[in-house]
Amino acid sequence: MTNDNISQQKTVLSAMKPSGNLHLGNLIGAAKNWLKMQEDYFCYYAVADLHSITEEILPKDLREYTLDLFCWFMAIGIDPNKSVLFVQSHVPQHSELAWTLNCFTQYGESKRMTQFKDKSAKNPDNINLGLFSYPTLMAADILLYGAHYVPIGKDQKQHLELARTIANRFNNRYSPTFVEPEGIFPKLGAKVYSLSDPTKKMGKSENDPKGVVLLKDDPASVERKFKSAVTDSETSIKYNPTKKPGISNLLVIYAELLGLDIKTAEKHFDSKSYAELKEIVAKVVIDCLTPLQQKYNSFRGDKDNLASLMKQGADKASFVARKTLSKVYRKVGFV
């Protein structure tokens, strides 16, 4: 893509923290939106590893999760020739701009962040300054690339508002420098819930591994997890998240992966048993994951090509990030 093409498109930044293995909920909830954005905007996709160390994580795990996430991005369909795919720590301007923006962020603003309060309450022995300034680093991630839009969930809305506040404050003190980003709240990929407790969202930190379908899972594991999925004591296959959360979750997974609406998915299971529902949904999941796993394994198994792709992405991101940081440094008065 030429620079002229880039300049004519709105820019989007999307980042994900490598803090665990990707699962079916990530695929349904986020990946479809990533691919659609790649067609509609010029996109930066970041593996946000700097954010990962605000919580305790083993170095070997962080390395594996970082490489895995980079490869899953590509396996799912992110094209490094269409978009800029990079590892955050490979672009030092993220950390450098974050320090500068810290000086334009008020203590009270950071202290009010809901995520900081929640994580501090959960981990009272590790309330570190990185966790406190996490939203300012997130602002740097966004503002470095002049992102017009950032796809976010409701839990990140407060962080985006802070990024806008910081950008506006800097622009008013000096001169227009940063784009004030707007949030995209994508129509879901519906939420996917745990197979073992369908009242809880499927997540990386799931205590019961039977409840989470990992993108890496082999067919036998997928079949086993769906076979043991919690349902209810009735027999009708109907979508009712309140009364039938387990059955509703299975219908959502089936509908999302096949591109159907829920009513159509329900009709497919007229006169079917719960056992048949679980078996059919498991097969749809396996059919979806198998080609993705083949692509993932191809990227992950070629270390030289992977290193080259990471360097290519970092070089592209750095080219833009250096220009932004140079402009910022000049305006604040650094020699």
User: Catalytic positions, please?
Assistant: 119, 201, 204
Residues 6+ apart with CB under 8 A from 42: 1, 5, 6, 9, 10, 11, 12, 83
Task: Return contacts of 271-280, CB within 8 angstroms, 24+ apart.
Answer: 272/237, 273/235, 274/231, 274/235, 274/237, 274/247, 277/237, 277/247, 277/250, 278/226, 278/227, 278/229, 278/231, 278/250, 279/223, 279/226, 279/227, 280/254
d(CA 216, CA 222): 10
Return the closest-CA partner of residue 46 out of 76, 60, 66.
66
The residue type found at 10 is K
- Cα radius of gyration (the chain): 21
Tokens 């591109």 correspond to 259
Q: Left if phi > 0, otherwise alpha if psi is -120 to 50, otherwise beta: which for 206?
A: beta
d(CA 119, CA 113): 10
